Amino acid sequence: MVDLNQQRIDAWNSDNLPIYEPGLDEVVKACRGKNLFFSTDCEAAIRAAQCIFVSVNTPTKKTGLGKGKAADLTYWESAARNIAAWSTSDKIIVEKSTVPVRTAEAIEKVLLRNCPAPGVHFDILSNPEFLAEGTAIDDLTTPDRVLIGGKIENDRGTAACAALVDVYANWVPRERILTANLWSAELSKLTANAMLAQRISSINAISALCECTGADVSQVSFAIGKDSRIGPKFLNASVGFGGSCFQKDILNLAYICECHGLQEVADYWYSVVGMNDYQKTRFVRRVVSAMFNTIRNKKIAMLGFAFKKDTGDTRETPAIDVAAGMIEDGAKIALYDPQVPEEQVRMDMGEEAMKSITCYKNPTDALKDAHAVTIMTEWDEFKTYDWKEIYEVMHKPAFVFDGRNILDHAHLSEIGFIVYALGKPIDPFLKSAEGA
Ligand code: UGA
Per-residue pLDDT tens over the stretch 227-249: 999 999 999 999 999 999 999 99
Specify the amino acid at residue 144: D
- In this structure, the number of other CB atoms found within 10 A of the CB of residue 118 comes to 6
CA distance 402 to 86: 53
Q: State the average pLDDT over residues 427-436.
A: 71
Which pLDDT value is given to residue 436? 45
Whether residue 371 contacts residue 399, with contact meaning beta carbons closer than 8 Å, is answered with yes
Is any atom of ligand 1 closer than 6 Å to the C-beta of 317?
no
- pLDDT given at position 119: 92
In this predicted structure, the answer to whether residue 183 has a pLDDT above a threshold of 80 is yes
Is the shortest distance between the CB of 338 and ligand 1 below 6 Å? no
Using alpha carbons only, give the angle 69, 72, 74 rounded to the nearest 5 degrees.
Answer: 170
Q: Does residue 200 line the site of ligand 1, with CB under 6 A?
A: yes
- Residue whose Cα lies nearest atom 8 of ligand 1: it is 132
| Residue 121 in this model has a pLDDT that exceeds 80 | yes
- 245 has catalytic annotation: yes
Rounded to 10 degrees, what is the CA torsion of 7, 8, 11, 17? 160
| Percent helix, strand and coil across the chain, each to the nearest 5 | 45, 15, 40
CB neighbour class for 80 (10 Å; exposed up to 12, middle 13-18, buried from 19): buried
Average pLDDT (251-259) is 95
The average pLDDT across 335-357 equals: 97
Place 148 in a pLDDT band, splitting at 50, 70 and 90: very high
Q: What is the pLDDT of residues 409-423, one digit of tens each?
A: 999 999 999 999 999
- Say yes or no: CB of residue 243 within 6 Å of ligand 1: yes
Which of 231, 229, 241 has the alpha carbon at shortest distance from 197?
241
Q: Which of 115, 210, 245, 257 does the annotation list as catalytic?
A: 245
Report residue 259 CA to chain centroid gap.
25
Return the SS3 of 402. Answer: strand
Whether the Cβ atoms of residue 100 and residue 71 lie closer than 8 Å to each other: yes
DSSP string across 78-129: HHHHHHHHH--S-EEEEE-S---TTHHHHHHHHHHHH--STT--EEEEE---
For 185-197, how does the pLDDT look when each residue is reduced to its tens digit (9 = 90+)? Answer: 999 999 999 999 9
Please tell me the residue having the least CA distance from ligand 1 atom 9: 245
Residue 431 banded pLDDT, cuts 50, 70, 90: confident
Q: Average of pLDDT values for 143-147?
A: 97
Cα 197 to ligand 1 centroid, rounded to whole Å:
8
Q: Using CA atoms in the order 189, 190, 194, 197, what is the torsion angle rounded to 10 degrees?
A: 60
Burial of 245 (0-12, 13-18, 19+ CB in 10 A): buried
Ligand 1 touching residue 130 (CB < 6 A)? yes
Asked if residue 132 has its Cβ within 6 Å of ligand 1, the reply is yes
Q: How far is the CA of 114 from the centre of ligand 1 (A)?
A: 37
Task: Check pocket membership of 202 for ligand 1, CB cut-off 6 A.
Answer: no
- Cα–Cα distance list, 130 to 13, 168, 205, 273 (Å): 26, 14, 25, 20
Q: What is the pLDDT of residues 294-327, one digit of tens each?
A: 999 999 999 999 999 999 999 999 999 999 999 9
Going from the Cα of 35 to the center of ligand 1, the distance in angstroms, rounded, reads: 30
pLDDT at 434 over 80: no
Question: Are the CB atoms for 101 and 253 separated by under 8 Å?
Answer: no
- pLDDT at residue 101, as a whole number: 83
**Who contacts 130 (Cβ-Cβ below 8 Å, separation ≥6)?**
139, 143, 144, 145, 147, 189, 192
- What are the DSSP E strand ranges found in 176-255? 177-181
pLDDT band at 136 (very low <50, low <70, confident <90, very high): very high
Protein residue with its CA nearest to atom 17 in ligand 1: 132
pLDDT tens readout for residues 68-120: 988 899 999 999 999 999 999 999 999 998 888 888 888 999 999 999 999 99
Mean pLDDT of the chain: 95
| Percentage above 90 pLDDT, the chain | 92
Residue 99 has a pLDDT of 86
In ligand 1, which atom is closest to the CA atom of 404? Answer: 33
Tell me if the bond preceding 100 is cis, omega within 30° of 0: no
Residue 41 or 436, more confident:
41
In this prediction, residue 433 carries a pLDDT of 63
According to DSSP, the residues that pair with 373 across neighbouring strands are: 301, 400
* Distance of alpha carbon 376 from the chain centroid: 14
